[in-house]
Amino acid sequence: MSRQIKILDTTLRDGEQTPGVNLNLHEKLEIARQLAKLGVDVIEAGFAIASPGDFEGVKAVAESVKGVRVSSLCRSVEKDIDRGWEAVRGAENPMLHTFIATSEIHLRHKLKMSEEEVLERAVAMVRYAKKLCGEIEFSAEDASRTRPEFLYKVFEAVIKAGATVINVPDTVGYSTPAEFGKLIKGIRENVSNIDKVDLSVHCHNDLGLAVANTLSAMENGATQLECTVNGLGERAGNAAIEEIVMGINTRKNFYGVSHNIDTTQIYRTSKLVSSLTGVIVQPNKAIVGANAFAHESGIHQHGVLADKSTYEIMTPESIGLAQNRMVLGKHSGRHAFEDRLKEMGYTLGADEINKAFEMFKNLADKKKNVTDRDIEALIEEKVSEVPEIFELESFQISSGNKVVSTAAVSLRKNDSVITEAATGDGPVDAAFNAMERAVGISFELESYGLNAVTEGKDALGEVTVRISKDSKVFLGRGVSTDIIEASVKAYLNAINRAISEIGEGIIIKN
């Protein structure tokens, strides 16, 4: 019988620490529900004490998402643990995850504590957390750069104090597979009570070795692997869940372990997280990149046509990547559209299907063939909706290489329509300026990204913008075959998000 491995997903905690990522409550719940559907064993839902928004996010996930353990990260401080418990106590299976650094460099420069003081704090806080919650994970931050003998001592002591999971983080991605595997083996051989707990690992990707280090740790006895969707996380990110899981599946005979992940949900999960975070997956990304199952070389094409195994070590179907078996266009009916949604793994209510079908028909009038990737973009745009305080009524652009770009934009707010015009350095800038005049608020444009969802002249354009107000950053997303329209929709989406989240503190034009 194969050894069972647990998967802890920290997309909502470490993944949200990716620079530029800021998920709202609705988006966190969407991701958490999809992670439960994916089959992860533990969702680390956030760092409850970090902010009121983080607390509410952890609490909402804990109370709403069933069938999975929900954890909150806490420093080894009583107030952190209290706040974390307040957030997760409503979960079916709550967990508190407390940590403290153990490496000499962190003790000397960050904590200003001795090894004895760190050991005493770690034990005291695990014992304190245990009074509140039955499941306690303890992490030795920067474990891979910690003196092994001290690490063994800390782990043995916190297990005696009540920890049920021991986590070994390669916090700065410094380790190599051979070193990290040796560290895990050493822990198993030198911590007398290690067999009483799950031994977890949390690897960062600073040297591009997060997945390799994680799999090496698993080979040497780790029983829980911590990771994020698409490898999101601090700096260069974390070990990617899709790469770990498909590595285990594809090399079953080598690793000889099993897990609870439904791999057919991998692609859907990756797309959802990419859409809601605004972090685009690189085309050559393993498993979920656009080119992961693409073959351009004539030699490769010939081989795949003869037998897929010549150049594919896994099937696209195994990660839930749908095949274009049916071409959808403007003459397609609702029944065909619904069937295609089901094939792609979407489960939508009647009203959601009606809205999606209307969007599909509008797109089909603009382009000859609507592909799966077009449909995904439309559905994801709907998922990332925010309250429409302002709705786009119309826009008109005048631009050219020898004229000043001018835009007139009409926005609907309640029963009134506000129309404003503005000039700018190009049509997009002019449209953004006109919208700001219409809503009566100015923002700083932090970034603007344009990506073609599909190929060809009639491709859908996906625009992602980040705007800021009072040091807070807001993401907006828009999709259209017209890149100006996509830009306008993205900027308005970001404005509505900003107003819905900090509206009390900014003046809105009546």
Range of the domain at 75: 3-277
pLDDT of residue 72: 98
* Percent of all residues in the chain with a pLDDT value above 70, rounded to a whole number: 87
CA distance 412 to 503: 17
Q: What is the dihedral of CA 299, 305, 309, 312, to 10 degrees?
A: 70
pLDDT of residue 471: 83
158 and 235 together in one domain: yes
Task: Residue 40: give its domain's CATH number.
Answer: 3.20.20.70
Mean pLDDT calculated for residue range 97-104: 98
233 and 168 together in one domain: yes
Q: Which residue has the higher pLDDT, 477 or 244?
A: 244
pLDDT of residue 374: 73
pLDDT of residue 325: 36
Does a structural domain hold residue 253? Answer: yes
pLDDT digits (tens, 9 = 90+) for 28-61: 999 999 999 999 999 999 999 999 999 999 999 9
214 and 118 together in one domain: yes
Residue 409 pLDDT level (bands cut at 50, 70, 90) = very high
Query: How does the average pLDDT of the chain come out, rounded?
Result: 89
Q: Which of 239, 259, 277 is the last residue of a domain?
A: 277
What is the gyration radius of the CA atoms in the chain, in angstroms? 25
Does a structural domain hold residue 32? Answer: yes
Does a structural domain hold residue 216? Answer: yes
pLDDT of residue 458: 67
Q: Which residue has the higher pLDDT, 469 or 90?
A: 90
109 and 213 together in one domain: yes
Does a structural domain hold residue 293? Answer: no
CA distance 154 to 169: 14
Does a structural domain hold residue 239? Answer: yes
Considering only 109-118, 275-284, 287-296, which range has the smallest mean pLDDT?
287-296
Residue 305 pLDDT level (bands cut at 50, 70, 90) = low
Res. 346: pLDDT tops 90: no
21 and 166 together in one domain: yes
377 and 464 together in one domain: no
Residue 299 pLDDT level (bands cut at 50, 70, 90) = low
Res. 237: pLDDT tops 70: yes
Residue 326 pLDDT level (bands cut at 50, 70, 90) = very low
**Buried b / exposed e along 324-349 (16+ C-beta atoms within 10 A):** eeeebeeebeeeebeebbeebebebe
Q: Which residue has the higher pLDDT, 388 or 495?
A: 495
Residue 504 pLDDT level (bands cut at 50, 70, 90) = very low
130 and 211 together in one domain: yes
440 and 360 together in one domain: no
Q: Which residue has the higher pLDDT, 480 or 487?
A: 487
Res. 495: pLDDT tops 50: yes
Give me the number of domains the chain comprises. 3
327 and 449 together in one domain: no
Q: Which residue has the higher pLDDT, 131 or 332?
A: 131
Residue 293 pLDDT level (bands cut at 50, 70, 90) = confident
Q: Which of 277, 311, 332 is the last residue of a domain?
A: 277
Q: Give residue 476's region: left, alpha or beta (phi > 0; psi -120 to 50).
A: beta
Q: Which of 277, 307, 336 is the last residue of a domain?
A: 277
Mean pLDDT calculated for residue range 213-239: 98
197 and 337 together in one domain: no
348 and 408 together in one domain: no
Considering only 16-20, 261-265, 300-304, 362-366, which range has the smallest mean pLDDT?
300-304
CA distance 332 to 374: 15
Does a structural domain hold residue 303? Answer: no
Task: Residue 452: give its domain's CATH number.
Answer: 3.30.160.270
Does a structural domain hold residue 234? Answer: yes
Q: Which residue has the higher pLDDT, 480 or 137?
A: 137
- Which residues make Cβ contacts (< 8 Å) with residue 169, sequence separation at least 6? 99, 139, 140, 141, 142, 143, 144, 201, 202, 203, 204
223 and 160 together in one domain: yes
Does a structural domain hold residue 489? Answer: yes
Residue 326 vs residues 317, 355, 370, 372, 446: alpha-carbon distances, Å? 16, 21, 10, 9, 40
Residue 446 vs residues 79, 99, 175, 443, 467: alpha-carbon distances, Å? 35, 34, 35, 9, 5
Hunting for tokens 């015009």 — which residue is that? 421
